[in-house]
Amino acid sequence: MKRTMVASILVLGVSASMGHGVLAQTVSTPEEANLRTTQQAIDTESTGRSTKSHAEALATQFKVEPQVVENLRTTKQGWGEIGIRLALAQELTKVDSKTYPTMTESLARVGDLRAEGKGWGAIAKELGFKLGPVVSEANRVRHELRAEARAPETDSQKPDKEFRKGDDNQSGRMEKADRAEQMSRPERPERPPRPERIERPEKPEKPDR
């Protein structure tokens, strides 16, 4: 009886310790939670946006060819996922430039770890750096894509249209003012023609005395 109780206690203790171990692995750091939130926000805000314009914006930010970003997009990845992968790859080229001197090699390494089902925090830990810089770059991705999305509304042609519209309004107001002035100004009556001057008869000459 006592042996059975001791065995049960040992089993419960092992199970509890294993449960805490699993819980410790699933609990994410604040940086990883922040990164997931940013990823979701980027995906939500980028719904229906142009692939080409977004690819160019990210290519400019991470100094890669737009085709690199478009290739990531063809694998059905969201813009948030793509931005974070690029941020991780960029950080990897900084901390381990000898092994991963280019973004292409870094992206391949990040892709391999992601394919293994690892989260962002686990990938950063595997590559030997913290998530802080990656979170900053992800927030910058969100800012850049927002700016790109607003770009059509602030096209360089818009001020010209507004300027021309302003000119049209101003000219219209001037025409209305001229019409009002003409209407308020009374017409001057025409002067009657001057009567012809009547010539006086010549005085008769006085007779000589």
Say which residues have a Cβ less than 8 Å from residue 49's Cβ, sequence separation at least 6. Answer: 79, 145, 148, 149
Residue 162 lies in a domain: no
Q: Is residue 1 part of a domain?
A: no
- From first to last of its 209 residues, what are the pLDDT tens digits of the chain? 445 444 444 444 433 444 333 333 445 799 999 999 999 999 999 888 888 999 999 999 999 999 999 999 999 899 999 999 999 999 999 999 999 999 999 999 999 999 999 999 999 999 999 999 999 999 999 999 998 888 755 444 344 444 344 544 555 566 665 566 556 555 565 666 666 666 666 666 655 55
Longest Cα separation, the chain: 188
Full residue range of the structural domain in which residue 93 is found:
29-151
- For the chain, the domain total comes to 1
Residue type, 10: L
Establish if 72 belongs to a structural domain. yes
- Domain annotation covers residue 112: yes
119 domain residue, yes or no: yes
